[in-house]
Structure 1
Amino acid sequence: MSKHEFFFKIATSPDEFEQIHRLNYLTFSEEIPQHQKNEEQKLVDQFHAENTYIICIKENEVIGMAAVRNNRPFSLDKKIGPVEQALPFSINSPCEVRLLSVKKEYRNGRVFLGLAQFLIKYCIKKGYDIALISGTVRQLKLYGQLGFQPFAQLTGTDEALFQPMYLTKKTFDESIAGRILPPTIPFLPGPVQISEKVMAALSKTPISHRSDQYKEKLKKAKILLGQLVNSKYVHIFLGSGTLANDVVAAQLSLERGRGLILANGEFGSRLVEQANRFGLHFDVFQKDWGEFFTRDEIISRLSNETTWIWAVHSETSSGMLNNLGLLKDISEQHHLKLCLDCISSLGAIEVDLDGVFLATGVSGKAIRALTGLSFVFHHHEVQPSLALPKYLDLGTYMAKDSIPFSQSSNLLEALLAALEDINIETFQKVVKTHSFLKNLLKQFGFTIISDENSSPIILTIEIPDTISSAVIGDIIYNHGYQLHYESDYLQQRNWIQIACIDNYENADLEKMANLLNRVISYEKNSHTTKKLLK
């Protein structure tokens, strides 16, 4: 880690807690005479077991800290009575911030600012609506710049006077610290950042889904979607990608013979589950996550009864891009109907559905509209079937020109606005971002899952097993970068993902990657030290 850089995190290691006790003593026994001095030069806080400590790390040194707890009574309750009685408004979920301290040589404002910014993100994520603090009167100006507002009477002694203060998201946003805090940059496969143009379209006055105006807009959206992937027909459903895949499963239930489902990740496994729920007759070719399918392997799993194949195009759970050309070749040669989950690849990379029986997509993710609409693409005429639930019957949509039930004109408006901005440059940008970031992460020595067959849509990083991917993800999030790490299937494998489908500046990519490297390097060293101490 650079000697000139620091970062913020939640304290977890014994060494960090030891340094916290010493910084606590240095500040509140020697500098501010709130507690008695002692030979050990350590001060363990009375609420230590309940505290969550936000700390600032430079190299391996704790140079700043703040403790957060939500157990009542607060220390401030004991000084002024229930804090609710002294506040000019009601509160629902308060927390108390104590022990805000920075070593003297680092009191240039940057550490205090970073602690405040990390604190507000942490509190929002935890669901707290107000943070309370006893601020030393020596630093009231600084507290005010961070967004803290005074209330109630002073507490303490003449040698150590404190002002009760509160911080809310509103007071923080209006403060100097809040105004210079950049927005969180999402590196998620969805949702992505929504443009002002799309949000403006979403907010238009709703119109009836039976009106001629709505029908014209829907027709335009379907044309754009069909041109995007070279599909003759597309129908738009009000629901998620799971709904669209259920529609595919429903259609496959009308087919004769058996199917073959290819699964090399979480979303391939979900296709298996959906097929089972529909009682489909099929075989499964299961491979380890991130392992690619070869031609010979797939063909060897076919039987005389096989009539269809169902697979995921971009398996985002591992970052694997399954070979669409290969699947189309095999399906054509063996007269099979190919079905594809293109939910993650649609709008991110070029997708040609010529020769594909059924495929699915969504309005969120790389399309960059709002979540809530899903699509089913096909080339053949589909008739309604009384054997299927009406809402899942593709033929019913075809017979009713895609408007069999109530629909949302607002989501359609947003979709249209997003589709108008997708072009070849969109796909090139995704590939460029992926290549730039992949090379950067490799320089740091990260292990990339599905490296040789990775989708340009997302990068999957294997975190050392001595470190929690959730801890790393939380640290990066509280620094303003939202990585994909909270899904159960990622935490089970200790993986973190970085999506490349949004619009990023190289400077932001470099800052995020450098921070990720610093944090993981520090945590790895910290855990190695723990083992040596044992």
Structure 2
Amino acid sequence: MLRIGRYSYKRAETAEEFEQIHRLNYRTFVQEIGQHSDNGTGQLVDKFHEKNIYFICLRGNELVGMLCAHDEPPFSVSERLPDPMLLYKGGDRPLEVRLLTIAPEERQGYHAGGLTYELFCYGREHGHTHFVISGVTTQLELYKHIGFEALGPAVGKNGAQFIPMMATLDRVEMQMQRTMKLWRRRIEREVVKTVEPLALIPGPVPLANDVRAAFAEPPIYHRGPEFVALFEEVRSTLCQLANAPAVAMTVGSGTLANEMIAATLAADPQADAGLMLVNGEFGKRIVKQIQRFGVNPRVIDWPNGQAWDLKKVERILSEMPTGGWVWGVHQESSTGVINDLPGLVKIAKRRNIRVCSDCVSSLGALPVDLKDLYLASAATGKALSSYAGLALVFADPAKLEHLDTSRIPSYYDLPMTLSTVGPRYTIPSPLLRALAVALQAYSTPEKAKVRFDHYAALGRYVRKRLNEIGLPPMAPEHCASPVITSFYPPGQESSCDFVSRCLTWGFLIGGQSGYLADERIVQIANMGATELQDLERLFDNLERWLTHRRDRAV
């Protein structure tokens, strides 16, 4: 996407953008030119719509110009040629330009040049050799000026005659050299610099500059004394943050950390005396992980957006043998629900049931106390505000001594990894250094409280604004995550369309993952180096769009 002043140039992606394209086509080619008959719908859908690529210009959310093209035979221009092979005169990768239209009130601007420039860049990027068009006879001189040459005589009825034409990309660039140069200068002068959108997703998260700088430092040997000392220092800080006796750290994601938990439970003599708590996608995922190790625990679940019902859990735990285990997700990031982990630990301790927890999204987001947990997973690329790539498993080594680990895959051998000083296997130093810097925000209880309070305030703001604009969060306030808020887009808009809309404003929100798209869920995460003004800008755009949407519906 390219932004110049109030205007954005991009590829059409959302259902609303395509609807506006069809309305502008109708306005131009039915009402203004009379090239097509009126179908009474107020929309004109191009016959090649399904394979067209649309380059559009937006003023805010309003379409002001459109140019479309495609590269899939058959080409409409071939119908106007005695020999369709003439289409390949300019090379073997033709790109047919179909329609160009600018809203009447915007025709004094530079949008036709901007859209043409975007088309030209697309052609170069994708290896196209030439453009083909069905040129209107009244614009013949303009086409020749751009670099097009006729491939045959004009065809069609009087008043609507077209000439099949072709121009190589090289010739277009040569003929429009001055225009291209002026446009590039305009971009350099006026463009709102194209930057990566602000990531308001549960990972990767926006990173502080000092974390990025640490990651960019030259690598060091993972067996050297400097690395081992830093590794053990990071371990100590993590244990202090989580109030845990020990932590294993290895290369991997949160999923790998949960694999280590599953492998450890599978090696337990009471492996089958387990209970899984599921109230979202990640609860379902850890059930599948433990089942792949041949363990089939009992599973209880709740609908999306509901927290664990601990009374129900307590009744089931009372039926389980002493020494069994229960495993659930602390912060269910698919729905933005925080489950009552301290409450679960309390009722499990009364029955000598071991508690395991997926804390991948919650560690660093809010205070956690893992001293009484049997196993807990976490990762570095979420609320801890560092790069993804290190998997963490918290445990007390003394409580794992009874395990027979001879059949556990070596990489998943948690007792061995916990007992190793320094990394058991290779860990890249950039990941460790970045994490060490990120953890400075939690190096004292006072600093940690500042981070937790910051996250909580941002989360409250997100939920408040969503409620005000009529998009209520899925999670009730009493169990709402401070860092992830899930909700449904307005009307029947798909999650993918809503995500694309937010991208045009410079924000990447959650909704692309299959499990979110299937449920039409989107989410805003406020982890990492996210500030209140970032969220204010997002909601200002969102509120303006919703107001315009409601006004247009009226």
Q: Name the CA distance, whole Å, in 2 between partners of 1:360 and 1:235.
A: 10
Q: 2:52 matched to which residue of 1?
A: 51
> Which residue type is aligned with residue 23 of structure 2?
Q
Q: Is the 8 A contact 1:95 1:128 kept in 2?
A: no
> Does the C-alpha gap of structure 1 residues 95 and 256 become closer, same or farther in structure 2, counting only changes over 3 Å?
farther
Q: Name the CA distance, whole Å, in 1 between partners of 2:546 and 2:488.
A: 11
2:419 to 399, 405, 408: 399
1:316 to 321, 333, 351: 333
Q: Is there any run of 5+ residues in structure 2 with no aligned partner, and where? A: 1-5, 79-83, 136-144, 151-162, 443-447
Q: 1:33 matched to which residue of 2?
A: none
Q: 2:208 matched to which residue of 1?
A: 195
2:366 to 349, 359, 364: 349
Query: How many angstroms does 1:221 deviate by?
Result: 0.9
Q: Does residue 249 of the first structure (1) align with residue 269 of the second (2)?
A: no
> Does the C-alpha gap of structure 1 residues 11 and 76 become closer, same or farther in structure 2, counting only changes over 3 Å?
farther
> Which residue type is aligned with residue 304 of structure 1?
M
Q: Is the 8 A contact 1:19 1:62 kept in 2?
A: no
> Which residue type is aligned with residue 298 of structure 1?
V
Q: Does residue 387 of the first structure (1) align with residue 407 of the second (2)?
A: yes
Q: Is the 8 A contact 1:22 1:43 kept in 2?
A: yes
1:229 to 220, 226, 242: 242
Q: 1:410 matched to which residue of 2?
A: 430
Q: 2:474 matched to which residue of 1?
A: 449
Deviations 1:417-473 (A, max 9, x none): 222234322222211111112111111111310123211111111235632222222
Q: What is the SS of the residue equivalent to 2:423?
A: coil
Query: How many angstroms does 1:11 deviate by?
Result: 6.4
Q: Name the CA distance, whole Å, in 2 between partners of 1:193 and 1:254.
A: 38
1:273 to 276, 283, 288: 288
Q: Name the CA distance, whole Å, in 2 between partners of 1:132 and 1:175.
A: 27
Q: Does residue 435 of the first structure (1) align with residue 439 of the second (2)?
A: no
Q: Name the CA distance, whole Å, in 2 between partners of 1:329 and 1:74.
A: 70
Q: What is the SS of the residue equivalent to 1:270?
A: helix
Query: How many angstroms does 1:58 deviate by?
Result: 7.4
Q: What is the SS of the residue equivalent to 2:391?
A: strand
> Does the C-alpha gap of structure 1 residues 279 and 60 become closer, same or farther in structure 2, counting only changes over 3 Å?
closer
> Does the C-alpha gap of structure 1 residues 188 and 38 become closer, same or farther in structure 2, counting only changes over 3 Å?
closer
Q: 1:340 matched to which residue of 2?
A: 357
TM-score with structure 2 length normalisation?
A: 0.75
> Which residue type is aligned with residue 274 of structure 2?
G
Q: Does residue 105 of the first structure (1) align with residue 105 of the second (2)?
A: yes
Query: How many angstroms does 1:295 deviate by?
Result: 2.5
Deviations 1:379-406 (A, max 9, x none): 3424482232111111111332253222
Q: Is the 8 A contact 2:277 2:301 kept in 1?
A: yes
Query: How many angstroms does 1:6 deviate by?
Result: 9.3
Q: Name the CA distance, whole Å, in 2 between partners of 1:280 and 1:508.
A: 45
Query: How many angstroms does 1:316 deviate by?
Result: 0.3
Q: Name the CA distance, whole Å, in 1 between partners of 2:186 and 2:44.
A: 34
Q: Name the CA distance, whole Å, in 2 between partners of 1:469 and 1:114.
A: 29
Identity of aligned pairs, percent? 28
- Greater CA drift, 172-181 or 286-295: 172-181
Query: How many angstroms does 1:508 deviate by?
Result: 3.1
Q: 1:139 matched to which residue of 2?
A: none
Q: Is the 8 A contact 2:221 2:429 kept in 1?
A: yes
Q: What is the CA RMSD across the aligned residues, in angstroms? A: 4.4
Q: Is the 8 A contact 2:261 2:375 kept in 1?
A: yes
Q: Does residue 326 of the first structure (1) align with residue 343 of the second (2)?
A: yes
> Does the C-alpha gap of structure 1 residues 419 and 83 become closer, same or farther in structure 2, counting only changes over 3 Å?
farther
Q: Is there any run of 5+ residues in structure 1 with no aligned partner, and where? A: 31-35, 86-90, 137-151, 530-534
Q: What is the SS of the residue equivalent to 1:420?
A: helix
Q: Is the 8 A contact 1:314 1:321 kept in 2?
A: yes
> Does the C-alpha gap of structure 1 residues 15 and 228 become closer, same or farther in structure 2, counting only changes over 3 Å?
closer
Query: How many angstroms does 1:48 deviate by?
Result: 4.5
Q: What is the SS of the residue equivalent to 1:66?
A: strand
Query: How many angstroms does 1:492 deviate by?
Result: 1.4
Q: Does residue 305 of the first structure (1) align with residue 321 of the second (2)?
A: yes
Query: How many angstroms does 1:364 deviate by?
Result: 0.8
Q: Is the 8 A contact 1:467 1:524 kept in 2?
A: no
Structure of larger gyration radius: 2
Q: 2:68 matched to which residue of 1?
A: 67
Q: Is the 8 A contact 2:15 2:497 kept in 1?
A: no
The alignment of Structure 1 onto Structure 2 pairs a total of residues equal to 488
Q: What is the SS of the residue equivalent to 1:215?
A: helix
User: Following superposition of structure 1 onto structure 2, how do residues 184-223 of structure 1 map, counting pairs within 5 Å?
Assistant: 184-223=197-236
Q: Name the CA distance, whole Å, in 2 between partners of 1:82 and 1:379.
A: 73
> Does the C-alpha gap of structure 1 residues 390 and 21 become closer, same or farther in structure 2, counting only changes over 3 Å?
same
2:382 to 345, 365, 370: 365
